[in-house]
Structure 1
Amino acid sequence: MTDQRQRFALIGTGNRGTTMWGQNLLEGWRDSVELVAICDTNELRAERARTMIGSNAPIFTDIGMTLNQTKPDLVIVCTRDSNHDDIIVAALEAGCDVITEKPMTTSVDKIRRIREAEKRSGKRVDVSFNYRFAPTAYKLKELLASGAIGTLTSVDFHWYLDTNHGADYFRRWHAYVENSGSLFVHKATHHFDLLNWYIDADPQTVSAFGELRNYGAKGPYRGTRCKGCEHASYCDFYLDLSADPFLETLYEDPSDLDGYVRDACVYREDIDIPDTMTANIRYTNDVVVSYSLNTYMPIEGHHIAFNGTKGRIELRQFEKQPWERPNHDEILVVKSFGGGVERIKVPHSAGGHFGGDDRMRNMIFRGGEDKLGQRAGSRAGAMSVLTGIAALQSARSGTTVRINELGDIG
Structure 2
Amino acid sequence: MLVRRFERTGSINDLNRAVDVADMAVDATPQDHPDRAACLNTLGNCLGSRFERTGSMDDLNRAVDVTGKAVNIIPQNHPDRAICLNNLGAWLGKRFKRTGSIDDLNRAVDIAGEAINATPQDYPNRASLLNNFGNWLNSRFKRTDSMDDLNRAIDVTGEAVNATPQDHPDRAAYLNSLGVWLSNRFERTGSMDDLNYAIDVTNEAVNAIPQDHPGRAVYLNSFGTCLGKRFERTGSMDDLNRAVDVAGEAVNATPQDHPDQASYLNNLGGWFGKRFQQTGSMDDLNRAVDITGEAVNVISQDHPDRARWLSNLGNWLSNRFERTGSMDDLNRAVDIAGEAVNATPQDHPGRAGCLHNLGRILNSRFERTGSINDLNCAVDVTTEAVDVTP
- TM superposition score category, shorter chain reference: under 0.3
- The structure with the largest helix share of the pair is 2
Q: Which has the larger radius of gyration?
A: 2
Greater RCO between the two (CA within 8 Å, min separation 6)?
1
Give TM-score scaled by structure 2 length. Answer: 0.26
- The structure with the largest strand share of the pair is 1
